[in-house]
């Protein structure tokens, strides 16, 4: 990371002040409306479609919402407001294409179709161009030569001008998908359909899974059929991702965010695969962990609350970033998640169920000095910066400070925000999770590096081996974030991919290999996964003394590479114990040229989805 000079680390008192400031009410917004019976999302000059401060979103600790969850909450608030435009007659503006086409090479292949990226300009109103050119945050499945990648995508956005009303998004299909039937050599791209065409909005946060029959499930954020309520939705494909059926509502929840999906055998009925979806449900001053379960291949779901914390002065009332996995050998369901604390280090907790999600128990870590026996402490990495409408976030950053940041924080043009979501795997009785952590005990410390750690239990959480440092912070490579994890079908090989920020502030994607020897993990080396390093996009451009913008107006400030990546193998089975690795990640190697009037005119990086296959790992 490019140094910006030393600053004093934020102590708990400073942290509490920033949280309170982030919770302060924001100015009222014109939100979701109806034009001729069609839902639209009005456009504002300095508010992205995904705006955090507009919801009073505490983006420092606790109430950290995902990109899609923030928009979903804004849409629900708008529906309840009953905002109705004066006119129902609209016309589309002038559309154009960006130059997102980038070169492919033998190691990495671009999965998203660059021809879906587009620009919209308007002559009816004075406004800067809309540049829809962001794809990142991946989840993937593999079935033989068939590969399917889900990701967040702004390319499914459409803006229209309505006389007497103004500009509005008439479509936001943020849940993108790309499919390959030739082992990742060529790809077709599109968007999974919403529950109903009458509410053409999906909000991303993709999580994919596959059952033993080869059916693929794509969970994301969306709405119910009317658009009146937010929902956890699941699309299903029975043709290896060539097509997806309209989404099924797994749960209606106006506070829903950051869902994650797992598929695996039912412990009592091993021939049946259950579909599990966990998510965070945000309430006024807290959040809770939720579970939806399907025993009929995703046709119907039942739901329940798993954990609803109360602030006790040490543990906060907020959880987030769950990541369920199923051990296919036993059907045991594990649900690790992040429980925010009132201090610097937050805590990973893990729920486990041996009866298909009917009952759960917390796994004990017994870490010395932790807040309790069931907490695994971790400090989320990144430097606290001011992302204006994107909130105050901890992030990776590059380039000079633009000045004017709140609370004396930096306001760089290039940044990508960070979270801690434990990435988990379970196989043959073993359970493990990888996470990024700061090298400092202080949250937001600008002098800190970051590392990737792997926590491993050979016996499902009864005992824990010493934590393995997969990637350490060095002078040449100070930052390591957003890991993905994959274990071989026989449990003998474990791989972890992760982003590295180099000393020159450029990013690359690496992968590490570990072997399980006598019940313990042994690190066997790291290698580059991406064939080239890349710069951060201009995601936090100052427009006014109090407002910043992403070059892509559909995307919140300081969002770039996304908040997770994917590393998967084909399903375990005879002759496929170890399988080839397949990786997909957000990558900025391609060039986008901002048109005249853009907040970032001329050439600069854009976010795309790149993939790689690694044989024989």
User: Binning pLDDT at 50, 70 and 90, where does residue 75 land?
Assistant: low
Q: Dig out the tokens for 389 from the structure.
A: 């409408």
Q: How many angstroms separate the first and last alpha carbons of the chain?
A: 31
CATH of the domain at 305: 2.120.10.10
Q: What is the pLDDT of residue 614?
A: 86
568 against 76, higher pLDDT? 568
Mean per-residue pLDDT, 465-473:
97
Q: Which residues pair with 104 in a beta bridge?
A: none
CA atoms lying within 13 Å on the CB side of residue 324: 35
- Number of structural domains (the chain) is 1
Total residues found in the chain within this entry: 617
Nearest one of 436, 425, 435 to 458, comparing CA atoms: 425
Does the residue 498 lie in any domain? yes
User: Binning pLDDT at 50, 70 and 90, where does residue 297 land?
Assistant: very high
Q: Dig out the tokens for 364 from the structure.
A: 């004990």
Q: What is the pLDDT of residue 67?
A: 80
SS3 sequence, 289-353?
Answer: EEEEEECCCCCCCEEEEEECCCCCCCEEEEEECCCCEECCCCCCEEEEEEEEECCCCEEEEEEEE
Give residue-wise pLDDT tens across range 166-209.
888 888 899 999 999 999 999 999 999 999 988 888 999 999 99
Q: Which residues pair with 414 in a beta bridge?
A: 398, 538
Asked if 155 and 100 touch (Cβ cutoff 8 Å), the reply is no
DSSP line for 558-589: T-SS-S--EEE-PPP-TT-SS--EEEEEEE--
Where is average pLDDT lowest: 211-225, 359-373, 391-405, 576-590?
576-590
The residues, any chain, with a CB within 8 Å of residue 403's CB and separated by 6 or more, are 411, 542
Asked if 15 and 61 touch (Cβ cutoff 8 Å), the reply is yes
Q: How far apart are CA 485 and CA 565, in angstroms?
A: 9
Q: How far apart are CA 504 and CA 507, in angstroms?
A: 9
Q: What is the pLDDT of residue 149?
A: 98
Task: Spell out a b/e string for 160-192, using b for 16 or more CB atoms within 10 Å of the CB, else e.
Answer: bbbeebbbbbbbbbbbbbbbbbeebeebebbbb
Q: What is the pLDDT of residue 26?
A: 29
Nearest one of 597, 590, 599 to 550, comparing CA atoms: 599
Counting residues of the chain whose pLDDT is more than 90, the rounded percentage is 74
Does the residue 4 lie in any domain? no
Where is average pLDDT lowest: 40-44, 153-157, 327-331, 403-407?
40-44
Does the residue 422 lie in any domain? yes
- Is the pLDDT at 87 greater than 50? The verdict is no
- Is the pLDDT at 448 greater than 90? The verdict is yes
Q: How far apart are CA 69 and CA 56, in angstroms?
A: 13
Give residue-wise pLDDT tens across range 90-149.
233 454 544 334 444 568 999 999 999 999 999 988 899 999 999 999 999 999 999 999
Q: What is the pLDDT of residue 82?
A: 47
Q: How far apart are CA 233 and CA 222, in angstroms?
A: 6
Does the residue 503 lie in any domain? yes
Does the residue 5 lie in any domain? no
SS3 sequence, 426-463?
Answer: EECCEEEEEEEEECCCCCCCCCCCEEEEEEEECCCCCC
Does the residue 284 lie in any domain? yes
DSSP state, residue 116: G
Q: What is the pLDDT of residue 80?
A: 56
Q: What is the pLDDT of residue 89?
A: 27
Does the residue 6 lie in any domain? no
Q: Dig out the tokens for 604 from the structure.
A: 């600069």
Does the residue 123 lie in any domain? yes
In angstroms, the Cα distances linking 250 to 70, 302, 337 are: 19, 8, 20
Mean per-residue pLDDT, 384-390:
92
Task: Show the domain range for 81.
Answer: 12-614
- Is the pLDDT at 11 greater than 60? The verdict is no
Q: How far apart are CA 395 and CA 540, in angstroms?
A: 11
């Amino acid at each position: 990371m490019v140094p910006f000079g030393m600053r004093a680390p934020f102590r708990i008192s400073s942290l509490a002040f920033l949280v309170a400031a982030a919770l302060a009410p924001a100015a009222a917004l014109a939100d979701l409306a109806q034009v001729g019976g069609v839902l639209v999302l009005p456009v504002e000059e300095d508010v992205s479609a995904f705006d955090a401060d507009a919801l009073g979103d505490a983006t420092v600790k606790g109430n950290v919402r995902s990109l899609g969850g923030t928009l979903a909450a804004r849409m629900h608030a708008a529906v309840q407001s009953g905002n109705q435009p004066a006119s129902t007659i609209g016309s589309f503006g002038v559309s154009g294409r960006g130059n997102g086409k980038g070169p492919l090479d033998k190691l990495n292949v671009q999965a998203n179709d660059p021809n879906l990226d587009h620009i919209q300009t308007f002559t009816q109103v004075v406004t800067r161009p809309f540049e829809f050119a962001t794809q990142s945050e991946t989840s993937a499945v593999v079935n033989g030569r068939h590969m399917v990648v889900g990701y967040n995508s702004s390319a499914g956005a459409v803006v229209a001008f309505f006389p007497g009303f103004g500009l509005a998004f008439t479509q936001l299909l943020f849940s993108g998908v790309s499919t390959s039937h030739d082992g990742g050599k060529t790809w077709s791209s599109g968007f999974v359909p919403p529950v109903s065409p009458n509410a053409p909005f999906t909000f991303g946060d993709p999580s994919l899974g596959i059952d033993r029959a080869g059916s693929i499930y794509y969970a994301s954020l969306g709405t119910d059929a009317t658009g009146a309520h937010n929902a956890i939705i699941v699309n299903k494909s029975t043709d290896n991702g060539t097509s997806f059926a309209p989404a099924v509502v797994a749960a209606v929840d106006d506070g829903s965010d950051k869902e994650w999906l797992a598929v695996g055998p039912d412990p009592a009925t091993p021939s049946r695969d259950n579909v599990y979806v966990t998510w965070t449900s945000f309430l006024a001053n807290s959040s809770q962990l939720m579970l939806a379960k399907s025993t009929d291949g995703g046709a119907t779901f039942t739901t329940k609350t798993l954990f609803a914390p109360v602030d006790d002065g040490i543990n906060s009332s907020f959880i987030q970033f769950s990541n369920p996995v199923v051990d296919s050998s036993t059907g045991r369901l594990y649900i690790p998640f992040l429980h925010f604390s009132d201090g610097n280090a937050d805590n990973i907790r893990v729920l486990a169920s041996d009866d298909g999600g009917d009952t759960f128990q917390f796994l004990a870590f017994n870490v010395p000095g932790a807040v309790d026996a069931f907490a695994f402490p971790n400090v989320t990495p990144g430097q606290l910066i001011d992302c204006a409408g994107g909130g105050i976030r901890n992030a990776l950053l590059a380039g000079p400070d633009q000045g004017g940041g709140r609370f004396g924080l930096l306001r760089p043009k290039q940044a990508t925000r960070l979270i801690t979501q434990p990435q988990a795997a379970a196989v043959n009785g073993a359970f493990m999770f990888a996470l990024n952590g700061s090298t400092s005990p202080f949250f937001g410390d600008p002098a800190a590096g970051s590392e990737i750690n792997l926590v491993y239990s050979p016996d499902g959480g009864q005992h824990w081996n010493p934590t393995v440092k997969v990637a350490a912070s060095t002078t040449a490579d100070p930052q390591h974030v957003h890991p993905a994890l994959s274990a071989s079908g026989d449990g003998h090989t474990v791989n972890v991919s992760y982003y590295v920020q180099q000393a020159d502030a450029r990013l690359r994607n690496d992968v590490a290999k570990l072997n399980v020897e006598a019940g313990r993990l042994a690190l066997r080396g790291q290698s580059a996964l991406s064939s080239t390093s890349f710069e951060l996009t201009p995601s936090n451009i100052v427009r006014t003394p109090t407002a910043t913008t992403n070059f892509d107006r559909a995307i919140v400030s300081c969002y770039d590479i996304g908040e997770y990546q994917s590393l998967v193998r084909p399903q375990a089975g005879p002759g496929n114990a170890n399988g080839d690795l397949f990786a997909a990640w957000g990558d900025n190697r391609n060039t986008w040229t901002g048109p005249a009037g853009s907040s970032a005119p001329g050439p600069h990086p854009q976010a795309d989805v790149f993939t790689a296959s690694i044989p024989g790992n």
